[in-house]
């Protein structure tokens, strides 16, 4: 079992790693993303909080909870250092190195790094039920906690922040949210939830997303501004 101090230590390592790797990244998307490291640290904390809800709802053991907490903190640590398609594997390597260096038991290190690697799996090719059978329990909880951050008010907020940066008007936001990547992502990922608690949370969050879209459509006039001349 990991202590609260160890959770804080791992968190501090991840926060610093994100900050330093974002500052030195030569990837264009990182450089053009204001406060990229802070946004990703916020996401990491959201995932940890989501994981806590699932752990409690599912009656996880302290051992399982410890693995999931460490994995939640470390899952996206490599976000600014590599291509997104391999960030699960690279994060799992960084997690393994950190945990070994700090003397964590071998079985614990292996479970954390496995869960972190699993969260980076390309989810398209295998149907959700079959995919779930391939994952460790801790890997499933981590992935669910990660996906929950793409489904509800947090997902809507992130989409609004992004669209605001593009200078979108409210009717354009309404259209984009309904047909754009935030909705597509939420609609796709909500099937990759396996625990009872995760499912309940996912349904609540996605319902909020849909209700927000419906309300926005009702309140915002879809009109193009006429050009002069």
- Which residues would be at the binding site for Fe ion (CB under 5 A)? 76, 146
Shortest Cβ 185–Fe ion spacing (Å)? 12
Q: Does residue 70 contact residue 99 with C-beta atoms inside 8 Å? A: yes
Residues sharing a CB contact under 8 Å with residue 36, sequence separation 6 or more, in sequence order: 22, 30, 80
**Residue whose CB is less far from Fe ion, 188 or 215:** 188
**Residue whose CB is less far from Fe ion, 29 or 62:** 29
Shortest Cβ 105–Fe ion spacing (Å)? 25
Shortest Cβ 126–Fe ion spacing (Å)? 18
**Residue whose CB is less far from Fe ion, 145 or 173:** 145
Shortest Cβ 149–Fe ion spacing (Å)? 7
Q: Which helix (H) or strand (E) holds 124?
A: none
CA 113, CA 132: separation in Å to the nearest integer?
17
Please, where are the H alpha helices in the chain?
4-24, 28-31, 36-57, 62-74, 87-101, 106-119, 128-134, 137-148, 153-165, 170-179, 181-189, 196-219
**Residue whose CB is less far from Fe ion, 76 or 174:** 76
């Amino acid at each position: 079992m990991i202590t609260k101090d160890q959770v804080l230590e791992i968190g501090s390592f991840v926060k610093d790693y994100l900050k330093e790797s974002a500052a030195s990244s030569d990837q264009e998307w990182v450089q053009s993303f204001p406060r990229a490291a802070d946004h990703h640290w916020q996401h990491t904390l959201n995932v940890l909080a989501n994981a806590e809800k699932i752990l409690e709802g599912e009656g996880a053991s302290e051992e399982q909870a410890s693995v999931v907490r460490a994995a939640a903190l470390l899952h996206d640590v490599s976000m600014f250092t590599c291509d997104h398609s391999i960030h699960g594997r690279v994060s799992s390597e960084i997690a393994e190195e950190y945990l070994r260096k700090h003397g964590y038991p071998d079985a614990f290190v292996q479970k954390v790094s496995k869960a972190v690697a699993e969260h980076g799996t390309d989810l398209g090719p295998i149907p959700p039920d079959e995919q779930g059978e391939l994952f460790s329990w801790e890997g499933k909880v981590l992935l669910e906690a990660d996906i929950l951050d793409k489904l509800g008010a947090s997902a809507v907020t992130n989409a609004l922040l992004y669209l605001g940066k593009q200078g979108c008007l409210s009717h354009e936001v309404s259209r984009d949210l309904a047909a754009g990547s935030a909705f597509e992502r939420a609609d796709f990922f909500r099937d990759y939830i396996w625990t009872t608690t995760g499912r309940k949370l996912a349904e609540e969050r996605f319902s909020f997303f849909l209700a927000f879209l419906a309300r926005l459509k009702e309140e915002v006039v879809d009109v193009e501004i006429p050009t002069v001349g």
